[in-house]
Amino acid sequence: MKRLDWNRLDAAAQRDALARPAQSRADELRRGVEQIIAQVRADGDAALRALSAKYDRCVIDVIEVDEAEFAAAEAALAPELKAAIKEAASRIDAFHREAAPRPVAVDTAKGVRVERMLRPISKVGLYVPAGSAPLPSTALMLGVPARIAGCREVVLCSPARADGRCDEAVLYAARVTGVHKVFKLGGAQAIAAMAYGTASVPRCDKLFGPGNAWVTEAKLQVSGDPEGAAIDMPAGPSEVLVIADAAANPAFVAADLLSQAEHGPDSQVILLSPSAELLDKVASEVDRQCAELPRASIAVQALAQSRLILVDSLAQAVAVSNRYAPEHLILQVAEPRALLDGVDSAGSIFLGAWTPESVGDYCSGSNHVLPTYGYARSYSGVSVASFQKQITVQEVSAEGLREIGPCTATLAAAEQLEAHRRAVTLRLAALEGRA
């Protein structure tokens, strides 16, 4: 990991210090995704089978997972894994149910009632990656809030293995959360299928879930097409930023950095600390622990574009973190809540020495589908609200129109929208018996 002193850097060097890894082959990637989407739109299921053979190296006869495959998946899983999936689902459900939006009704003036009613997005598509490692936890993070929201049709796509089957744990998690249909599809072709529909895959109104650069590019392209589908958020590679003080446990800090570095070679991890001694100890721990990891070769590539940064104070660390806007922010300091009010841009925050980011990935109850690549400045993580539409309703009585009509007419006149003004003044006149 590169070692830097924040206060010895000029403005340009500070920008470079917080730069994300560049998304390589941008033009080639864009064109490749465009071709895949066009192929799926033109040839439907036939394209999906051909693209699965090309990219996933598997032959798929029936695209949808059938009951026999669900049953076989459940039978194949160890009892302790099935229990853990159910346990995690229950915590995710408890938090998301409590945090879900509520209907609102407010009398903003006498005789003027304004309401907010909630309606589920009718058809949603969930994407669960399964490249270098299958992610049943993502099926939980997406399926649970979709169920709470009451979406009428929930479909899930996840890449098949070489044997033409999806990961057993992903299938079991999908069934636990009440997903209606699962398809053995991955990559940009899965996104295209859910956005535009095929003979097998229903067309969805909104798409959710993380993925590689091809999946992310496909989501951005379909979301920009009026005939495509909305998406949860833009996303990039996984990332974590840790703020640690001199008393932090170096082994804990190193473990948290590596837990994100092992995601992929384009992941990024950053440590900010006012303690040069802690940075030294963490650097040694990272080297020691990384050598023991099964995915060490991946982590090493991520660490090459990661940073250990010396700052003057914890307050400065928070300011730098806000500038970076991390997907995951870990506050491994003596009094983490003292820093919390200063944080304004982060996907999810983890407080104290005993809160590894891993618990949020799996079973604390929060969601792990979060904005990355700086999008935490303007986006939030997935929640029940992500699967709902909030529709406002208003009802005005005659007395209410007398109360707010003049205000409406004045503002309409200021905007030179005469029909707007008359829609009010005609009614006011009628109330006064002059119409």
Query: Does a structural domain hold residue 387?
Result: no
Same domain, 159 and 206: yes
pLDDT of residue 435: 53
- 100, 384 Cβ separation under 8 angstroms: yes
pLDDT exceeds 60 at position 145: yes
Residue 212 marked as a ligand binder: yes
Instruction: State the Cα–Cα distance between residues 308 and 2, nearest whole angstrom.
Output: 6
In the listed set 205, 231, 257, which residue is the last one of a domain according to the structure?
Answer: 231
Query: Does a structural domain hold residue 196?
Result: yes
pLDDT of residue 25: 59
> How far, in Å, are 27, 36, 134, 216, 222 from residue 30 at the CA level?
5, 10, 25, 10, 12
Same domain, 247 and 226: no
Query: Does a structural domain hold residue 319?
Result: yes
> How far, in Å, are 23, 213, 265, 416 from residue 28 at the CA level?
11, 12, 19, 49
Average pLDDT over residues 100-115: 98
pLDDT exceeds 70 at position 24: no
Query: Does a structural domain hold residue 128?
Result: yes
The label of the residue with tokens 């090493």 reads 300
Instruction: State the Cα–Cα distance between residues 382 and 359, nearest whole angstrom.
Output: 17
Instruction: State the Cα–Cα distance between residues 129 and 191, nearest whole angstrom.
Output: 12
Buried-exposed string 90-114: b where 16+ CB fall within 10 A, e elsewhere: ebbbebbeeebeeeeeeeeeebbee
Same domain, 144 and 171: yes
What CATH number is associated with residue 276? 3.40.50.1980
Paired with 109 in beta bridges are 112
Grouping H, G, I as helix, E, B as strand and the rest as coil, residue 101 is: coil
Average pLDDT over residues 258-273: 94
Same domain, 256 and 224: no
Same domain, 18 and 30: no
Cα first-last separation, the chain: 78
Where on the phi/psi map is residue 160: left (φ > 0), alpha (ψ -120 to 50), or beta?
beta
Same domain, 316 and 416: no
> Average model confidence (pLDDT) for the chain?
96
Same domain, 137 and 190: yes
Give tens-digit pLDDT for 54-98. 999 999 999 999 999 999 999 999 999 999 999 999 999 999 999
Query: Does a structural domain hold residue 140?
Result: yes
Grouping H, G, I as helix, E, B as strand and the rest as coil, residue 433 is: coil
Token pair listed for 377 = 């400045």
pLDDT of residue 22: 75
Same domain, 86 and 195: yes
Give tens-digit pLDDT for 196-228. 999 999 999 999 999 888 999 999 999 999 999
Same domain, 146 and 169: yes
> How far, in Å, are 88, 107, 198, 359, 361 from residue 157 at the CA level?
21, 44, 13, 25, 20
Query: Does a structural domain hold residue 337?
Result: yes
pLDDT exceeds 70 at position 23: no
What is the pLDDT confidence band of residue 434, given thresholds at 50, 70 and 90?
A: low
Residue 292 marked as a ligand binder: no
> How far, in Å, are 131, 316, 358, 360, 364 from residue 210 at the CA level?
12, 31, 17, 15, 19
Residue 45 marked as a ligand binder: no
What is the pLDDT confidence band of residue 257, given thresholds at 50, 70 and 90?
A: very high
In the listed set 191, 216, 231, which residue is the last one of a domain according to the structure?
Answer: 231
Same domain, 145 and 253: no
> How far, in Å, are 192, 409, 410, 430 from residue 435 at the CA level?
57, 17, 20, 5
pLDDT of residue 119: 98
Query: Does a structural domain hold residue 375?
Result: no
Grouping H, G, I as helix, E, B as strand and the rest as coil, residue 17 is: helix
Token pair listed for 393 = 């309703």
Residue 415 marked as a ligand binder: yes
Query: Does a structural domain hold residue 373?
Result: no
Average pLDDT over residues 230-240: 90
Same domain, 86 and 218: yes
Does 25 or 399 have the greater pLDDT score? 399
Grouping H, G, I as helix, E, B as strand and the rest as coil, residue 9 is: coil
Instruction: State the Cα–Cα distance between residues 39 and 35, nearest whole angstrom.
Output: 6
Structural domain containing residue 264 = 2-23+236-365
Residue 260 marked as a ligand binder: yes
> How far, in Å, are 92, 144, 364, 366, 395 from residue 383 at the CA level?
10, 9, 14, 9, 30
pLDDT exceeds 90 at position 235: no
Token pair listed for 66 = 């059938």
In the listed set 341, 365, 389, which residue is the last one of a domain according to the structure?
Answer: 365
Residue 245 marked as a ligand binder: no
Instruction: State the Cα–Cα distance between residues 136 and 129, nearest whole angstrom.
Output: 9
Q: How many domains does the chain have?
A: 3
Token pair listed for 391 = 């529709």
Q: List active site positions.
A: 327-328
Give tens-digit pLDDT for 278-314. 999 999 999 999 999 999 999 999 999 999 999 999 9
Give tens-digit pLDDT for 338-348. 999 999 999 99
Token pair listed for 37 = 């989407």
Same domain, 37 and 156: yes
pLDDT of residue 213: 87
